Amino acid sequence: MDSTRTVVLAGASGFIGTYLRRRFQEDGWMVRTIGRKGTGSAGAAWADDAGMARVLNGAELVVNLAGRSVSCRYSERNKGVIMDSRVSTTKALGRAIARCQEPPSTWLNASTGTIYRDARDRPQSEFDGELGTGFSVDVAKAWEAALESAVTPGTRKIPLRIAIVLGRGGGALAPFANLARLGLGGHMGDGWQKFSWVHVEDLYRSIRFLHARTGIAGPVNVASPEVVSNREMMHLVRRAYGARFGIPTPGWLLRAGAILIRTETELVLKSRWVQPQKLLDAGFVYSQPELGQALLQIARSRP
Ligand SMILES: NC(=O)c1ccc[n+]([C@@H]2O[C@H](COP(=O)([O-])OP(=O)(O)OC[C@H]3O[C@@H](n4cnc5c(N)ncnc54)[C@H](OP(=O)(O)O)[C@@H]3O)[C@@H](O)[C@H]2O)c1
């Protein structure tokens, strides 16, 4: 019998998927994929129901990361693709797992810490967090509802409410680092909005941890417990990238600039305060718990 542990990564070609693939392989796992292109015997495309079931059958873990990037203007067309690329892939995965004779024991589906309301008053845990309103919250709710409605009796399902993931080449860090290098890395808006983050290595380690801890159920917040303000975050970004000063950007300028660079200010102005209570209660130990150290490690790491 083949004793190699197998993980299926769906949406594996992006920032997080590339990192997870490398780390699982370094730790001796076999990696199979599901994506827009099904490549080779270890890969299947979303349109191929039978191929997906073949790839999933016998794997012990599946991690779904698929979704069109949210870093764009929220036009009606983009909104439709952002929503559909998450909901339809999650539903397809549920159907494929239901066809498996040996389904994975754990299905971790990406969701987002943005599901919580704009919070400046108190942290939002899985137990007492309040869900927010607006388009990105609607996406997160629909994404989690698609996971919830999948009928997979042999497979434990967990939505991962992931904070902003930091790592080399990570989409979320690059604009902050670039602004700092240009001398524009001051605080954004009033700068008191909270910044919830997690190092990509701790995302990998929390995935391994949650797979092993079979008693954990329901949504899990994946974030570092050290949440900082935007002011503190930009100070640490400037330090990591060697910028001696940083000009602050007021909210009105961000709103104008966001139109020019085709993104949304919510990505930097919303106050995200995500408390990873379930991971902490279960004894998860972070490899990068402090933002300053995490940013220095990323800035110094080689491509
Ligand atoms: N990065 C963060 O800070 C962060 C924070 C919270 C949540 N998340 C969520 O975690 C997931 C992975 O994040 P990431 O940063 O790795 O994103 P990413 O680099 O944009 O990768 C997402 C992957 O989704 C697939 N994809 C893209 N457009 C698609 C479409 N229209 N239909 C179906 N699949 C599509 C692609 O994989 P294939 O080419 O293999 O199909 C792509 O590589 C995303 O769903 C994201 O919303 C990320």
Nearest atom in ligand 1 to the alpha carbon of residue 11 is 37
Distance 66 CA to ligand 1 centre (A): 5
Q: What does the buried/exposed string (b/e) look like for 200-209 if buried means 16 or more CB atoms within 10 Å of the residue's CB?
A: bbbbbbbbbb
Residue 241 has a pLDDT of 92
Residue 208 DSSP one-character state: H
Q: What is the pLDDT of residues 274-297, one digit of tens each?
A: 999 999 999 999 999 999 999 999
CA-angle at 297, arms to 287 and 205, nearest 5°:
25
Q: Is the CB of 13 under 6 A from ligand 1?
A: yes
Distance 244 CA to ligand 1 centre (A): 34
Distance 13 CA to ligand 1 centre (A): 8
Q: What is the pLDDT of residues 10-66, one digit of tens each?
A: 999 999 999 999 999 999 999 999 999 987 779 999 999 999 999 999 999 999 999
Full-model pTM:
0.96
Which domains, ranges and CATH numbers included, belong to the chain? Answer: 6-300 (3.40.50.720)
Count of alpha carbons within 13 angstroms of residue 251, beta-carbon side: 8
List phi, psi (to 5°) of 133.
-135, 165
Q: Is the CB of 267 under 6 A from ligand 1?
A: no
Residue 1 has a pLDDT of 44
More confident residue, 40 or 209: 209
